[in-house]
Structures are given as structure tokens and as C-alpha cells.
């Protein structure tokens, strides 16, 4: 196997779904300054994500709109502006 091809900052990180509150431990190289405590009582580097398999409609079977960045409202405003220009 080749040596020195893997990243040096690979470690277990805590990913937290902001929609459902579900926590996942995943091996990652994502840089973060936040630290969170998992259910095992240990602290891990933490990254908050907007959506995961715990809240995505495909996996949950529930149709919901999760829009923390306001993208749906921006899209609707652009649609209304386009309709107004047509008229």
C-alpha cells in the first residue's frame, strides 16, 4: 500500500442535524472549531448540518420544507417578479 497518501487530520467528528437534533459520529477531515458531546460522554469536533437522513423527506417519508437560508422565499419573489413583467 502507498504511504503518505492519506490526510493527517482524519478523525472522528460529531455531525448534528439542526432540523431533527439527531447526532452522528462520522470519520471526517472537515475543519471546525466547535466541540460537542456525544451520548457516550466523550467530546468530539462538531459540525452542524441543515439536513441529514434523519430529516430528509426521502428517508423519513414525510414531506416538509426545511429552509433556514430563505431560498424558498427568494424563489417565490423571483417568480412573482417574472409574472409581473409578463403582464
Domain locations along the chain: 11-86
Segments of 1-71 assigned E as strands: 11-17, 23-28, 35-37, 43-49
Distance CA 62, CA 85 (A): 36
Question: Model pTM greater than 0.95?
Answer: no
Q: Would you state the pLDDT for residue 20?
A: 81
What is the mean predicted confidence (pLDDT) over 68-85? Answer: 82
Per-residue CA distances from 56 to 22, 52, 61 (Å): 12, 6, 8
Q: Which residue has the higher pLDDT, 56 or 54?
A: 54
What is the mean predicted confidence (pLDDT) over 62-70? Answer: 66
What is the mean predicted confidence (pLDDT) over 11-20? Answer: 88
Distance CA 26, CA 23 (A): 10
Helices marked H in the chain? 57-60, 71-86
Amino acid at each position: 500500500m502507498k504511504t503518505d497518501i492519506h490526510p493527517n487530520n482524519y478523525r472522528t467528528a460529531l455531525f448534528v442535524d439542526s432540523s431533527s437534533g439527531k447526532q452522528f459520529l462520522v470519520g471526517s477531515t472537515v475543519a471546525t472549531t466547535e466541540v460537542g458531546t456525544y451520548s457516550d460522554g466523550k467530546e468530539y469536533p462538531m459540525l452542524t448540518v441543515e439536513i441529514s437522513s434523519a430529516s430528509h423527506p426521502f428517508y423519513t417519508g414525510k414531506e416538509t420544507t426545511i429552509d433556514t437560508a430563505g431560498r424558498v422565499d427568494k424563489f417565490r419573489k423571483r417568480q412573482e417578479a417574472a409574472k409581473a413583467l409578463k403582464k
